[in-house]
Amino acid sequence: MTETPHGTVLSFPGTASRAAETDAEGRMPPPNWTEIIDSGYLRLFHPPASGGTGADGLTQLAAMEALARACAGSYWTATVSGLLCGKLISRYSRSSEHDRLLKPLISGEKLACFAIVEPPAGSDAGTYNTTVRPAGAPGEGFVISGEKAKITNAPDADLAVTLARRQKAPGDEGHDWCLAFVDLNQPGVRRYETPRMGLRGMPWGGIVFTEAVVSEADVVPVPFGELAGELAELMAWGWLLISVSAIAIAESALDASVRYAGERVSFGRPLGHMEGVQTQLAESRAQIDAARVLARKAVTELAAGRSAREAIAMLKIYATEMAVEVAARAVQIHGAAGVTRGHEVERLYRDAQMNVIGGFTSNRLRETVAESLGLGPAVYQPFDWVAPAGLGIDPAGFDGLTQSAGAVPA
Partner 1 sequence: MVAPQELKPAAPGAGDPSSAAAARELAERVARPSAAERDRDHRWDPALFAELAGARPGPGLAGPLVPRALGGGGLSATQTCALLEGLGEGARDPGLALAVGVHAVLATVPLRAFGSPRQRERYLPLMASGDWIGAVSLRQTQGAALAPTVTARPGTPGLGGWVLTGDLDLVAGGPVAHHFLVVATHDGGGRTAFVLDRSTPGLLITESAPAAMRTCTWGRLVLDGCHVPDDAVLGTVGGAEAEVEPLMASLDWVFSSAPWLGVMRALVRDAVDGAAERQVFGRPLVHAQSVRFTLADLATRCELAAGLLYRAAGQFDSGGRPTRQDAATARLFVAAAARAVAEGAARLSGPAALTSDHLIARAHRDALFFAETGGGTEVLRPVIAASLLGLG
Taking CB under 8 A as the criterion, which residues in 263-292 touch its own copies?
A: 266-269, 272-274, 276-278
CA distances from 155 to 204, 265, 384, 388 (A): 6, 45, 44, 52
- State which residue, 187 or 276, has the beta carbon closest to partner 1: 276
Beta-carbon count within 10 A of 194 CB? 13
Residue 376 CB, shortest distance to its own copies, in Å, is: 16
392: contact with partner 1 by CB under 8 A: yes
Instruction: Name the phi and psi angles at 204, rounded to 5.
Output: -150, 130
Q: Which does 340 bind (CB under 5 to 8 A by kind): its own copies, partner 1, none?
A: its own copies
CA atoms within 13 A on the CB side of 18: 20
# binding residues, its own copies (CB under 8 A) = 47
Pairing state between β 159-166 and 112-115: parallel
| Interface positions, 261-320, toward partner 1 (CB under 8 A) | 261-262, 272-279, 281-283, 285-287, 289-291, 293-294, 296-297, 300, 310-311, 314, 317-318
Q: Which does 138 bind (CB under 5 to 8 A by kind): its own copies, partner 1, none?
A: none
CA distances from 21 to 29, 63, 223, 341, 387 (A): 9, 22, 44, 11, 56
- Which one of 382, 390, 395, 406 is in contact with its own copies (CB under 8 A)? 382
- Look at residues 51, 43, 50 and name the one whose alpha carbon lies nearest to residue 8: 43
Residue 296 CB, shortest distance to partner 1, in Å, is: 6
Question: 80: Cβ–Cβ under 8 A, 6 or more apart, which residues?
Answer: 112, 113, 114, 152, 153, 238, 241
Window contacting its own copies (CB under 8 A); options: 108-116, 153-161, 214-222, 330-338: 330-338
Taking the C-alpha atoms of residue 347 and residue 241, their distance in angstroms, rounded to an integer, is: 19
- SS3 for 211? strand
Note whether 179 and 162 are within 8 A (CB): yes
Residue 3 CB, shortest distance to its own copies, in Å, is: 16
Taking the C-alpha atoms of residue 234 and residue 180, their distance in angstroms, rounded to an integer, is: 16
Residue 40 CB, shortest distance to its own copies, in Å, is: 32
Residue 360 CB, shortest distance to its own copies, in Å, is: 10
Taking the C-alpha atoms of residue 73 and residue 75, their distance in angstroms, rounded to an integer, is: 5
168: contact with partner 1 by CB under 8 A: no
232: contact with its own copies by CB under 8 A: no
- State which residue, 339 or 396, has the beta carbon closest to its own copies: 339
| Interface positions, 124-153, toward its own copies (CB under 8 A) | 124, 126, 149-150
Residue 128 CB, shortest distance to its own copies, in Å, is: 13
Note whether 232 and 309 are within 8 A (CB): yes
- SS3 for 118? coil
329: contact with its own copies by CB under 8 A: no
Taking the C-alpha atoms of residue 69 and residue 81, their distance in angstroms, rounded to an integer, is: 18
| Interface positions, 201-260, toward partner 1 (CB under 8 A) | 258
# binding residues, partner 1 (CB under 8 A) = 71
| Interface positions, 358-377, toward partner 1 (CB under 8 A) | 363, 366-367, 369-370, 372-376
245's torsion region: left (phi>0), alpha (psi -120 to 50) or beta?
Answer: alpha
Window contacting partner 1 (CB under 8 A); options: 86-94, 132-140, 169-177, 386-394: 386-394
Window contacting partner 1 (CB under 8 A); options: 106-114, 243-251, 323-331, 401-409: 401-409
- SS3 for 202? coil
Residue 110 CB, shortest distance to partner 1, in Å, is: 35
Q: Which does 9 bind (CB under 5 to 8 A by kind): partner 1, its own copies, none?
A: none
DSSP state of 400: B
Taking the C-alpha atoms of residue 359 and residue 123, their distance in angstroms, rounded to an integer, is: 8
- State which residue, 336 or 407, has the beta carbon closest to partner 1: 407
CA atoms within 13 A on the CB side of 117: 20
Note whether 85 and 114 are within 8 A (CB): yes
Q: Which does 154 bind (CB under 5 to 8 A by kind): partner 1, its own copies, none?
A: none
* Site for its own copies, rule CB under 8 A: 117, 122-124, 126, 149-150, 194-198, 266-269, 272-274, 276-278, 324, 328, 331-332, 335-336, 338-342, 346, 349-350, 353-354, 356-357, 361-363, 366, 380, 382-383
